[in-house]
């Protein structure tokens, strides 16, 4: 916090407050800005009042990262240009208000620090590596499209978030959630022994622990929804194609999607508004999904009464046989809240073939992924300006050669090797895709149409497979903590393009419950002498 200049900013920062992990800016009688849990609206209000600078925000988050990352290991790299970008944003804001008072704000993300999953390419000093040493030093041709949009909007690229290495696709089931060679084992900030889930682990943990304002993750099968659920943050998995995947390391393009992770539904929606839309670099998927984008964007659906008149389905056979007994009472309580807020709960529904749908080896998903990954990752690697590896075969060879660094002995690279053995999207893969489409048609599509549902609601992560194999959207909202303190969320899912309804129900549920708590980290932060000096 050393960068804060009391004279020029006119803000008072109590050093004692910083040390107790609760820094507050008070300027004037009724102005109050608290760094931890700051929302985008609060940040923009503080900017507009000249009570906060983007630079101060960046300094706060970098201090948080310095303090917490040795334990949480959720950030791989901090952008050496983050402070400069913040200064530029501050300058632009100053100019704007001097030149034309009538102009409203510069946009919701202007000056706001964003962390990117380490699979989202940036053409700057940051590496883009999927957590693996194999891609360190590779040079991308340009920013991912979602990053271009962030930069155009004046957002600050704070750095790269850790993840389960290669989306865990190096060795499915063997690589622990949140582990990558470059970052080590990331930790759940609520429960050190708790599963951080993956693969967007770092994106979720960092937001949960107030190491950044918002982040981007990606999902093919649960990779946004699950870590968000397990780390008590909001995760928004958009309909496939709503957000461009150009410049993002792929898994299976027919299912890959990029989405926000944040502490509140409105923050997720502001970020979504910025990154959606047609992109010629991801032509087919984005041109198809662009028709779903409402005129005026998504923030108009942040409606406190959003649950009124909604029909929400509870598909009991998605989770009845699972070990959910500890969260079921809270779930039932939340169902009552949803009813009281005006929704109709259509209970005791069943989707047919749930066992097949939930099993990637049976539903066609794994077959499609094995072939799709090889083809698409080879395309990504070929596009790089320069890179130590140019193909999946090169990565496998790199891992063999650097087996200690990549912990090949323990975690293996079985899935990579299986993927390398495939040769493109043939008859078998087309059949696999057809099977997923049929399971979706006979499953969630039929259920939602027959019951006239607006969304389905699930405790925890049990709708991930249903949403994954159909490219459907979902949003998870913090819903509680079990007796050990382990978080869980409520997940709302729906058919393609139903983001407006999902936002209405998720926002109304969030506002009716406000369950999210900060992780219990403050006591365990050990400020080193160096940090102390910096803080004063
Ligand atoms: C990117 O990787 C290179 C090579 O290891 C390293 O020197 C550089 O510091 C990395 N960039 C950042 C921002 O950490
Ligand atoms: C079910 O959950 C309880 C409480 O979290 C746990 O103690 C138990 O080991 C779990 N059982 C199984 C079979 O996973």
Q: Which of 54, 162, 168, 199 is catalytic?
A: 199
Q: How confident is the model at residue 21 (pLDDT cuts 50, 70, 90)?
A: very low
Sequence-ordered list of residues with C-beta below 8 angstroms from that of 306, at least 6 positions apart, any chain: 503, 504, 505, 506, 507, 508
- In this prediction, residue 12 carries a pLDDT of 29
Sheet of strand 474-481: strand arrangement: 75-78, 156-161, 113-117, 214-219, 257-262, 234-237, 474-481, 487-493, 455-459, 311-315, 344-349
- In this prediction, residue 535 carries a pLDDT of 30
Q: How confident is the model at residue 105 (pLDDT cuts 50, 70, 90)?
A: low
Domain locations in the chain as residue ranges:
21-300+517-527
Q: Which of 51, 73, 117, 501 is catalytic?
A: 117
Ligand 1: lining residues by beta carbon, under 6 Å: 77, 80, 125-127, 136-137
- In this prediction, residue 101 carries a pLDDT of 59
Percent of the chain at pLDDT > 90 equals 87
pLDDT tens track for 149-174: 999 999 999 999 999 999 999 999 99
Is the pLDDT score of 138 beyond 80? yes
Angle between helical axes of 392-401 and 365-383 (0-180°, round to 10): 90
- In this prediction, residue 353 carries a pLDDT of 93
What number of other Cβ atoms are within 10 A of residue 509's Cβ?
26
Task: Decide: 56 and 8 in contact? Cβ < 8 Å.
Answer: no
- In this prediction, residue 31 carries a pLDDT of 72
Is the pLDDT score of 531 beyond 60? no
d(CA 78, CA 202): 13
Judged by its nearest atom, the ligand closest to the C-alpha of residue 326 is 2
Ligand 2: lining residues by beta carbon, under 6 Å: 323, 326
Sequence-ordered list of residues with C-beta below 8 angstroms from that of 349, at least 6 positions apart, any chain: 313, 314, 315, 316, 447, 451, 456
pLDDT tens track for 209-220: 999 999 999 999
- Which of 104-108, 301-305, 477-481 comes out lowest in average pLDDT? 104-108
Over residues 363-385, the mean pLDDT reads: 98
Residue 484 alpha carbon to ligand 2 centre in Å: 12
Q: Which residues face 260 on adjacent strands? A: 216
Ligand 2, atom 4, residue with closest C-alpha: 326
- Which of 201-205, 217-221, 429-433, 528-532 comes out lowest in average pLDDT? 528-532
Which whole-number Å values give the CA distances from 249 to 129, 161, 194, 377, in the listed order? 9, 14, 27, 7
- Which of 97-111, 179-193, 433-447 comes out lowest in average pLDDT? 97-111
Q: How confident is the model at residue 30 (pLDDT cuts 50, 70, 90)?
A: low
- In this prediction, residue 232 carries a pLDDT of 98
- In this prediction, residue 17 carries a pLDDT of 32
pLDDT tens track for 328-338: 899 999 999 99
Q: How confident is the model at residue 14 (pLDDT cuts 50, 70, 90)?
A: very low
- In this prediction, residue 106 carries a pLDDT of 84
Q: How confident is the model at residue 525 (pLDDT cuts 50, 70, 90)?
A: very low
- In this prediction, residue 4 carries a pLDDT of 31
- Residue with the bigger pLDDT between 15 and 407: it is 407
97 is catalytic: no
- Which of 8-17, 44-53, 301-310, 456-465 comes out lowest in average pLDDT? 8-17
What is the best residue among 230, 323, 330 to mutate for testing ligand 2's pocket, by most ligand atoms within 8 Å of CB? Answer: 323
Over residues 93-101, the mean pLDDT reads: 77
Is the pLDDT score of 132 beyond 50? yes
Judged by its nearest atom, the ligand closest to the C-alpha of residue 482 is 2
Question: In the structure encoding, which two tokens stand for residue 200, read together?
Answer: 């967007």
Question: In the structure encoding, which two tokens stand for residue 57, read together?
Answer: 């925000």
- In this prediction, residue 321 carries a pLDDT of 72
Is the pLDDT score of 247 beyond 70? yes
Over residues 275-283, the mean pLDDT reads: 98
pTM beyond cutoff 0.85: yes
Nearest to 413 by CA among 123, 181, 175: 175
Instruction: Decide: residue 517, CB within 10 A, 0-12 exposed, 13-18 middle, 19+ buried.
Output: middle
Q: Work out which ligand 2 atom sits closest to the CA atom of 323.
A: 1
Q: What b/e string do you get for 353-373 counting C-beta neighbours within 10 Å, with b at 16 or more?
A: ebebbbebeebbbbbbbbbbb
Judged by its nearest atom, the ligand closest to the C-alpha of residue 76 is 1
Residue 450 alpha carbon to ligand 1 centre in Å: 54
How many residues are given for the chain?
Answer: 536
352 is catalytic: no
- In this prediction, residue 98 carries a pLDDT of 73
Q: Which of 223, 376, 440, 465 is catalytic?
A: 223
What number of other Cβ atoms are within 10 A of residue 346's Cβ?
19
> C-alpha angle 451/457/462, rounded to 5°?
115
Which whole-number Å values give the CA distances from 526 to 37, 134, 186, in the listed order? 20, 33, 18
Q: Work out which ligand 2 atom sits closest to the CA atom of 482.
A: 5
Ligand 2, atom 6, residue with closest C-alpha: 323
Does domain 21-300+517-527 fall under CATH 3.90.1300.10? My reply is yes
Over residues 503-532, the mean pLDDT reads: 76
Q: What's the whole-number average pLDDT of the chain?
A: 91
- DSSP letter for each residue of 107-153: -TTTT-EEEEETTB--SSSS---TT-GGGTT-B-SS--HHHHHHHHT
Q: Which DSSP symbol is given to 226? A: H
Instruction: Decide: residue 71, CB within 10 A, 0-12 exposed, 13-18 middle, 19+ buried.
Output: middle
- In this prediction, residue 5 carries a pLDDT of 31
223 is catalytic: yes
């Amino acid at each position: 916090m050393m960068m804060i200049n009391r004279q020029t900013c006119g803000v008072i920062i109590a050093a004692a407050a910083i040390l107790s992990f609760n820094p507050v800016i008070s300027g004037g009688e009724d102005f109050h800005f608290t760094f931890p849990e700051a929302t985008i609206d609060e940040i923009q209000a503080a900017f507009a009042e000249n009570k906060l600078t983007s630079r101060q925000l960046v300094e706060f988050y970098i201090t948080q990262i310095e303090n917490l990352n040795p334990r949480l290991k959720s950030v791989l790299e901090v952008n050496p240009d983050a402070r400069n970008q913040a200064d530029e944003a501050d300058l632009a804001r100053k100019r704007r208000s001097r030149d034309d008072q009538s102009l409203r704000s510069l946009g919701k993300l202007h000056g706001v620090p964003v962390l990117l999953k380490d699979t989202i390419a940036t053409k700057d000093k940051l590496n883009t590596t999927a957590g693996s040493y194999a891609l360190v030093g590779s040079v991308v041709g340009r920013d991912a499209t979602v990053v271009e949009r962030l930069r155009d909007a004046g957002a600050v690229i704070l750095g790269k978030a850790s993840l389960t290495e290669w989306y865990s696709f190096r060795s499915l089931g063997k690589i622990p959630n949140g582990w990558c060679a470059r970052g080590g084992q990331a930790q759940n900030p609520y429960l050190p022994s708790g599963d951080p889930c993956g693969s967007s682990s770092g994106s979720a943990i960092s937001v949960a622990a107030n190491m950044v304002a918002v982040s981007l993750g990606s999902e093919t099968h649960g990779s946004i929804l699950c870590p968000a659920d397990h780390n008590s943050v909001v995760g928004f998995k958009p309909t496939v194609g709503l957000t461009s995947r150009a410049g993002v390391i792929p898994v299976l393009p027919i299912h890959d999607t990029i989405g926000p992770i944040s502490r509140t539904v409105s923050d997720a929606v502001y970020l979504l508004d910025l990154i959606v839309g047609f992109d010629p670099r991801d032509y087919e998927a984005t041109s198809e999904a662009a028709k779903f984008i409402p005129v005026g964007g998504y923030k108009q659906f942040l409606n406190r009464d959003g649950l009124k008149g909604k029909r929400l389905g509870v598909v009991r056979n998605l989770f009845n046989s699972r070990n959910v007994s500890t969260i079921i009472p809270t779930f039932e309580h939340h169902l009552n809240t949803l009813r009281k807020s005006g929704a109709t709960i259509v209970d005791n529904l069943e989707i047919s073939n749930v066992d097949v749908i939930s099993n990637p080896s049976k539903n066609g998903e794994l077959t499609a992924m094995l072939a799709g990954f090889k083809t698409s990752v080879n395309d990504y690697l070929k596009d790089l300006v320069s890179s130590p590896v140019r193909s999946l075969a090169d990565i496998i060879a790199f891992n063999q050669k650097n087996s200690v660094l990549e912990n090949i002995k323990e975690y293996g690279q079985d899935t990579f090797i299986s993927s390398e053995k495939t040769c493109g999207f043939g008859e078998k893969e087309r059949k696999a895709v057809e099977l997923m489409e049929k399971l979706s048609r006979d499953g969630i599509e039929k259920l939602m149409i027959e019951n006239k549902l607006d969304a389905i609601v699930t405790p925890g992560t049990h709708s991930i497979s249903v949403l994954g194999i159909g490219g459907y959207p979902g949003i998870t909202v913090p819903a509680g903590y079990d007796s050990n303190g382990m978080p869980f969320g409520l997940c709302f899912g729906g058919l393609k393009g139903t983001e407006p309804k999902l936002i209405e129900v998720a926002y109304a549920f969030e506002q009716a419950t406000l369950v999210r708590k900060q992780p219990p980290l403050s006591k365990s932060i050990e400020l080193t002498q160096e940090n102390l000096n910096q803080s004063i």
